Structure 1
Amino acid sequence: PGEKTSPTQPFPTKPPAFDRQSVTDDDLIDFTPELRAMARDVVGHYKHGPLFTPPSVVSDEPGGTRGTIQLSGSVGGADWTGAAFDPETAMLYVPSMTNPFVANLIPGKSEETNLRYRAGDRRLIQLPNGLPLIKPPYGRITAIDLNRGEIAWTVPNGDGPRNHPLVKDLHLPPLGHAVRAAPLVTRTLLFVTEGDQVNVRTPPGGGGRKIRAFDKATGTIVWEYEMEAGSTGTLMTYLHKGRQYLVVAIGGQNHPAEFVAFALPAGTRTSQNSPEGLRYR
């Protein structure tokens, strides 16, 4: 209140954004008319709009709101797990989350601060039934051609909530997990994990335990393996005695932290075989 935003803001045009940056009516979930109506009712209590829409003051007065919906939000977009760059093709592979959050302000109390307003809550916003507020994908992988400044392909990363009781009979395609996925690119493949929910505020049931290999030119899945828990860190690879290993840290609330290593069977010289899992604790 009383502050003004700059009349101009930087809006890069190339490459295009790899994830959503605004909330409009067209972004709301629409698997069924009932879910769409529920989403409209939820957003009606909040301020929302394009990129750079600032947090708003919580107010019960007529016309007041409960805050501002920001997308991709505090735990959305790309994160510390980073991206993977292929120097031979100038392709950048970016995992990201489409995860709307509420940002708001509340009046400051004199015994706590000398500011008129302070930060309120920053929380995930979803439908009352636990489904996401907006359309999928909720976790995605985007391949960006840096030579052309264009998106080459985008694919969802994981199943997401398509088995939720309210939508499982719709037989939806993969919707993507809203978690911190870890990428690693090689000369032949792109490896990406689904990521665990540890220390990440994501929708209930979010997160996954799979690691996948993608055709890095098309985004087609060529191999996948379900681990005992989701990844909690970035991938790494190393060569030992002529054999290449791929290592990932995994863990979760119900699974101890450990490293899992993958490798092709000894003597294999082709990338078309399924990796053989090796477990180290």
Structure 2
Amino acid sequence: MPRSPASRIRPSTPTAPAALRVAAWARLCVLAAPLAFCALLTAPQVGLAQEGAPGGEWPVYGGDPGHTRYSALDQIDATNVGDLEIVWRWDARNFGPNPYIRSATTPLMIDGVLYATAGMRRSVVAVDAGTGETLWMWRMDEGERLSEAPRPNPGRGVAYWTDGAGDERILVVTPGYHLAALDAKTGLPVESFGDSGILDLNEGHRTRDGIPLVGTIGSSSPPTVVGDVVVVGSAHHVGLRPPSRVNTPGDVRGFDVRTGDPIWTFKTIPDPGEEGHETWLENSWEYTGNAAVWAPISYDPETGYIYLPTEAATGDYYGGHRPGDNLFSTSLVCLDSQTGEKIWHFQIIHHDIWDWDNPTFPILADIEVDGEER
């Protein structure tokens, strides 16, 4: 589901670009759907967030790995919000032949630079948070893969990875279902990743007899990076237009963030011999699809666990062709991000025939249960 525009804090900006890396955060960046980023000016304050997004940055789609969307910065409040003034505006209408009138993009904010997606071709842009200047732009010419894509839209954004020694990358899933790794400083594809910076996500993905991958599978959410593994879900046609019992299954996969090499696959519709296979009666596992993860994925950096919010199986409002509980559709599934091993699952809707997909990431939090923190 599209999400509301969200405010982001950015640093104060003396004219030198290096000054963007200071700890005095003085301006608010907004992605005003669908038209613009706006920068708003108020008095500076020095301080670091103790929870949620670190130090005024926004390095993950949800602010932090647990997607709390929380920032402890408090310089803008009820007493001064009326004094804010626009100091720059960035327009997304330039990215494509037709303006896209909706946006669910949340920019990342890393070291004084905003990273976001824009336009129907899902261009990736880097914007100077101090001035609104576009630093670089990248987009892929996908030809028919774009015109047939089930999710031709700007997407929800990008992911960020660094080795801590100067290698910084922005990762994005294109509308035609490619995974691109871009140099965060230049926007150029990273040659050592995949095929000159591009990984064709159709390769190695399961399908069903008679169902082509091109035109039936894509994604609008950013990938998730945990350590050196990048995790990718998918979004499919629902199997209702035209009505069908057959569709592509919603496998979730992990790749090496440095090379693009495949590491693991988790099958949300299990094969024979795998846990959950017994919940697909009358051999319905052979042809049923969907049960994908089209929403963003949360993770716990301490354990390395990822949390997958899955959708309903084909075809949303009818399940006569797939008797059984249909694991792991409409479930919350916890995996080890490094191996793909399932840790636990909870099926929210058994045999979903209401299209009650999990539409967003789960929020992770430490809570006290019977006097113990969990």
Higher relative contact order (CA 8 A, sep 6+): 1
TM range (shorter): 0.3 to 0.5
Q: With structure 2 as the length reference, what TM-score do the two structures score?
A: 0.37
Given the two structures, how large is their TM-score scaled by the length of structure 1? 0.48
